[in-house]
Amino acid sequence: MVFKPVYLLILFGTIVIDYFAGIWIAQAKTHRNRKLLLIISLISNVGILAFFKYFDFVEESVNAVLASLGSEMAFPPLTALLPQTITQFMVNGAGQILLPIGLSFHTFQAMSYTIEVYRGNQEPERHFGIYALYVMFYPQLVAGPIERPQNMLHQFHTYFKYDFENVKAGLMQMAFGLFKKLVVADRLAMVVDYAYSNPSEQNGLTLLVSTIFFSFQIYCDFSGYSDIAIGAARVMGFKLMDNFKNPYEATSIADFWSRWHISLSTWFKDYLYIPLGGNRKGEFRRQLNLFIIFLVSGLWHGSSWNYVIWGALHGLYRVIGGLKDKILYKSKIQFPQNSFFKVVNILITFTIVMFAWVFFRNDKAPVEQSFMIINKIFALNWSEPIHSPFNSVEMWFCVLLIALLLIKEHYYLKIPTSDTRLFFIMFAGIAFLTYFFGVFTSNQFIYFQF
C-alpha cells in the first residue's frame, strides 16, 4: 500500500464516472438503462480494485497450477503486458503491483452511492465537490469506517456551529484511539512479530500467547484508527458510524460480526447477502449466501490464500452456529441464561476467532506455515518457556493493559466528557500515559494495507 501522486488520476477517474453515473441513473427513463449505468459504474470500480489488488495473486496462482501440471506455459507478468512507461509507476523492484492507499475502502464507499441511487434510497449529488468530498473525506479515507451516502452527503450540506461538547467528545475519542494504537497494539506487536517472524523456531506456548496478543493487537490497532477517524470528524461536527462495539464480549460468531468492523459487515449484508437472496430462498441458500459473503470478505482483505481460509473459517463458523441454533430450537433445548453460560460462550467465541487470526496474521507466508503454527499450539507443553523480546515484568504489563482495556470498554465504550474539568484531567492523563508508555516506531496501522 503506497501513496503515489499519479494514483490520484485513478481516484479522480472513478469519482468522475460515479458522479455522472449517479445523475444519469436518476434521469434514466427505463429500468434497463438504469441497470446498465449501474453495471458500468460497478465494473469500473471493481475492475480497478481487482487489477491492483489481485493481478499478482492470479498470476502466482495460475503459474503454480500450471507448474504442478508440468506445463511450460506461464501467465505473463504485468511488465510483459503493458508498456514500461505505464508499469514504471505501478510496480516495485520485484515486479509486484503497488496498491494505492485506501483503495478498498473508498471503492466500497463509492459503490454504495451508486447502488443507493439505483435503489431510489438516495438522491444523486449534483455538486461535484461535495460528491468528491464524500469519497475522499480525509478522516476515514484510508481505513474506514465505510460510510453510506444517506449518512454523509446531507452532512456536507449542513452548516455546523462551533460545539464545545463535540470538540471534547471528539478529542477524547482521538486520544484513546492513539492510546490503543501506540500503547497497547504496538507493544503487543513486538511480542507477536518476534514469534511470527520465525514460527518454526518457537514452541507451542509461545505461539499461543502471541496469537492471543495478536487478537488484541489487531483490535486495538484497527479500532484505534476508527476512534481517531470518528473523533476527528466529530471535532468538525460530522458524525461517522460506529465501527466496533466490544467484539470480544460476543457470545457467538453472529454476535461477533455485529460488533467487529460493523461498516464492512453491514456493507456485505446490504450489497451482497441481500442481492444473493438473503434468507428468502430457503435454509440451504441462506447458509450458502452467508458462507459466500465471508469468503468474499476474506478476499477483500487481501490477495492471499491465508485470507481466503480466514474468511472461509468464519463462514463455516457462521453456518455451523446457525445450524446449531436451529437444531436447539426444534429440539426445544434451552440453556440457562446466566452469567456462567454467557462467560462460557464468550470464551468459546474468542477461542475460535483467535485460531482464525493465525491465518490472518500469517498472510504473507505459505498456508502450510499457518497450519504448522496451529499444530504446534495444539501440541503445546504448558511447562515450556515463553520466548519473547520482553522480560516477565513487561509481559505481565501487556496482560495488565489487555485487562484494563476490557474493563474500560465493558463499562465505558465511550469515555464521558460532559464534565469539562474532568475532561481536561482525563485528556491530559491519557496524553501523558501515551507519551510515557507508547511505542513510537514506524508501525503503520494494519488496515492501511487493505
pLDDT at 9: 81
301, 314, 387, 410: which is the annotated catalytic residue? 301
C-alpha grid cell for residue 24?
444519469
Predicted model pTM:
0.89
Letter string b/e over residues 313-342, b meaning 16 or more CB atoms within 10 A of that residue's CB: bbbbbbbebbeeeeeeeeeeeeeeeeeeee
Residue-by-residue pLDDT tens, the chain, 450 positions: 556 677 778 888 888 999 999 999 999 888 899 999 999 999 998 888 888 887 777 777 777 777 777 776 666 666 666 666 666 666 666 666 777 777 888 889 999 999 999 998 989 999 999 999 998 888 887 777 999 999 999 999 988 888 999 999 999 999 999 999 999 999 999 999 999 989 989 999 999 999 999 999 999 999 999 999 999 999 999 999 999 999 999 999 999 999 999 999 999 999 999 888 888 888 888 889 999 999 999 988 887 889 999 999 999 999 998 888 788 777 777 777 778 888 899 999 999 999 999 999 988 888 899 999 999 999 888 888 889 998 889 999 999 999 999 998 888 878 888 888 999 999 999 999 999 998 887 677 666 665
DSSP-assigned states of every residue in 237-302: T--PPP--S-GGG-SSHHHHHTTSSHHHHHHHIIIIITTTTTTSS-HHHHHHHHHHHHHHHHHHH-
- Catalytic, 301? Answer yes
DSSP-assigned states of every residue in 340-402: HHHHHHHHHHHHHHHHHHHHHHTTTS-HHHHHHHHHHHHT--TTSPPP-SS-HHHHHHHHHHH
pLDDT at 414: 80
DSSP-assigned states of every residue in 293-352: HHHHHHHHH-SSHHHHHHHHHHHHHHHHHHHHHHHHHHHT-----SHHHHHHHHHHHHHH
pLDDT at 346: 93
Query: In the chain, helix, strand, coil percent, each to 5?
Result: 70, 0, 30
Angle 213-208-196 (CA atoms, 0-180°, nearest 5)?
70
